[in-house]
Chain A
């Protein structure tokens, strides 16, 4: 056993310098990630003073795939499968806004039944994403039941989507011109019964998770994002709706048949972590009503896909179309020079926009609040990196 004095002597003998503690040394730099449980590959560097976070710098890019550059080498149809990879749980919504942008450029009119089916697919898909997100939020806060339940209930919708599209997660179902195939026989009844089941389950989620005093204490009043700041930071989706901005692309700029659907934009006024985690559940409940209406109002038969030329191309032009995805507004900006391949594709994703709120909200909070704040931002690293 060597005493401290002996250690000092030893280090002097070795020519090591002993420095005094400075103000800078009080701060400890932590690198959170890139292998972070549940979140995908994302890293942020934080500095803590005691257990207060005083500095935060996001460092994305670990799953950057160059989607935008890849788009320039493929024609508009070939682009579909790789574009939906960033969020495989929400692939229908990603291809939805891509399809809208391409349709505007090429000039395709989508048959009415096709519009309904792709709206159903994307509503279901948004629920798959949100359930997955919710499961991870549960496990982030140490609530393992909330990890099991949504993960299990997610399978219900995945089975529905498998019956509809033929694939469990990456469907490549919404394509320019409509959807790939018609609904299978008996899908309507099956879908309605599963929706009822989910509505029942959402109530149970509230009981076990949202009304859990532990969860409430960890989220209520934590990391409040005021309305002014939410607007200034340009965040989107459930984050901005939690800060009393009732913005939903389906209502603000209704695409396809959403102007025939009667639904409310769910929003909350507190702007804390609890609101940001509760708004997605309200959205899912609203989405169930939307699906019921879509199933009721859709035409009984008809085409589901417009005929496309083999290598679709339109006149030179630009388009920017967006849809409401699980993480907020998802926009595609496509520049076409008249050839079948896009000249430039820019994907404006909700995750990338919401990331700006992370340093803003984390600074000044305790380290233990970090998971609750981080995952409440509805951030999907792979999507932000593209």
Chain B
């Protein structure tokens, strides 16, 4: 990261602004200039090196604290980008304390809800905010908390200004009796993802028509393999 490189990055940031507004549709660029000007360079610019944050534009220059691991829902980012903040406020106005905001990063928002609220929040996200499909459903095992976290990565095709955004809708469930309500009636696209999550992590999705084996062998007779207490043989 020499001075040379920094100059180039600065040039790049300037170039990207003009280029971007010309290439995408104008109304999007005007509606939310910070988001469009800070797009690709900022995501890697999160952690420590100060040169990286200096090169990026003004919006998140003061982000010193690191985002903590998913297990601790805390507002670590003091100055989130305005567009993302607006989205979160829209959620907060509707649901209040039901929605816990884990972090707000450029283009990425993570919220956490209780299992019984997830269907309501998801239908609001789809109907009123335009997140119309799920890109993936990932489960993560946290043996320390004895919990499994399920993350829905929601994206949008129909709202152009949301195309770059991914909203992470998460819920946690107890590992001993892992159950969550299914979102298949809201997002048809989660059908196979939830089925995979069921077999890989043992989360039973209540209301899902097929909580069944999907990718694993037919004679699989072990615990779900992506749980942390499953060990690969020989390791």
- Are B138 and A333 in touch, CB under 8 angstroms? yes
A320 interface residue per 8 A CB criterion = yes
A93 to B16, CA, bound (A): 23
- 1/0 per residue A231-265: CB within 8 Å of B? 11110100010000101000111111111101000
A344 interface residue per 8 A CB criterion = yes
- Looking at A44-52, A66-74, A80-88, the stretch in contact with chain B turns out to be A66-74
Interface size on B, as a range, is 35 or more
- Are A331 and B136 in touch, CB under 8 angstroms? yes
- Are A240 and B44 in touch, CB under 8 angstroms? no
- Looking at B48-56, B112-120, B174-182, the stretch in contact with chain A turns out to be B48-56
- Are B16 and A260 in touch, CB under 8 angstroms? yes
Interface size on A, as a range, is 35 or more
- Give the most central of B9, B45, B133, B153: most A CB within 10 Å: B133
- Are B192 and A355 in touch, CB under 8 angstroms? yes
Q: Which residues of A contact B157 (CB under 8 A)?
A: 230-231, 240, 245, 247
B12 interface residue per 8 A CB criterion = yes
A234 to B154, CA, bound (A): 10
A111 interface residue per 8 A CB criterion = yes
B73 interface residue per 8 A CB criterion = no
Query: Residue of A at shortest CB range from B72?
Result: A316
Among B107-153, those with CB < 8 Å from A are 107-108, 110, 132-136, 138, 140-141, 151, 153
- Are B24 and A251 in touch, CB under 8 angstroms? yes
A321 to B48, CA, bound (A): 19
> Which residue of B140, B164, B192 contacts A352 across the interface (Cβ within 8 Å)?
B192
A230 to B151, CA, bound (A): 22
A134 interface residue per 8 A CB criterion = no
B62 interface residue per 8 A CB criterion = no
A69 to B9, CA, bound (A): 37
A303 to B5, CA, bound (A): 9
B216 interface residue per 8 A CB criterion = yes
A298 to B51, CA, bound (A): 22
- Are B70 and A331 in touch, CB under 8 angstroms? no
Known: A231-B158, A251-B24, A253-B164. A73 touches B235 (CB 8 A): yes
Query: Residue of A at shortest CB range from B165?
Result: A253
Query: Residue of B at shortest CB range from A256?
Result: B40
Q: Which residues of B contact A320 (CB under 8 A)?
A: 108, 153, 166, 168
- Looking at B79-87, B89-97, B183-191, the stretch in contact with chain A turns out to be B183-191
B30 interface residue per 8 A CB criterion = no
- Are B153 and A259 in touch, CB under 8 angstroms? no
Known: A233-B189, A318-B110. A61 touches B216 (CB 8 A): yes
Among A179-218, those with CB < 8 Å from B are none
Q: How far is the CB of A117 from chain B (nearest CB, A)?
A: 15
- Are B19 and A108 in touch, CB under 8 angstroms? no
Q: How far is the CB of B27 from chain A (nearest CB, A)?
A: 15
Query: Residue of B at shortest CB range from A112?
Result: B8
Q: Which residues of B contact A252 (CB under 8 A)?
A: 163-164
B69 interface residue per 8 A CB criterion = yes
> Which residue of B1, B189, B230 contacts A232 across the interface (Cβ within 8 Å)?
B189
Q: How far is the CB of A31 from chain B (nearest CB, A)?
A: 13
- 1/0 per residue B187-216: CB within 8 Å of A? 111011100100010000000000000111
B20 interface residue per 8 A CB criterion = yes
Q: Which residues of B contact A108 (CB under 8 A)?
A: 44
Q: Which residues of B contact A60 (CB under 8 A)?
A: 214-215
Q: How far is the CB of A188 from chain B (nearest CB, A)?
A: 20
B34 interface residue per 8 A CB criterion = no
> Which residue of A61, A232, A233, A251 contacts B214 across the interface (Cβ within 8 Å)?
A61
- Are B46 and A107 in touch, CB under 8 angstroms? yes
Known: A60-B215, A61-B217, A234-B189. A106 touches B15 (CB 8 A): no
A291 interface residue per 8 A CB criterion = no
A343 to B138, CA, bound (A): 13
- Are A356 and B67 in touch, CB under 8 angstroms? no
Q: How far is the CB of B17 from chain A (nearest CB, A)?
A: 9
Q: Which residues of A contact B225 (CB under 8 A)?
A: 66, 69
Q: Which residues of B contact A (CB under 8 A)?
A: 1, 5, 8-9, 12, 15-16, 19-20, 23-24, 39-40, 43-49, 51-52, 66-70, 107-108, 110, 132-136, 138, 140-141, 151, 153, 157-158, 163-164, 166, 168, 187-189, 191-193, 196, 200, 214-217, 225-226, 230, 232, 235
Can you name 18 extra interface pairs (CB under 8 A) apart from A254-B39, A318-B70?
A64-B217, A66-B232, A104-B44, A105-B47, A109-B5, A234-B188, A240-B157, A247-B157, A251-B24, A253-B164, A255-B40, A258-B40, A317-B46, A320-B153, A329-B135, A331-B153, A333-B153, A337-B69
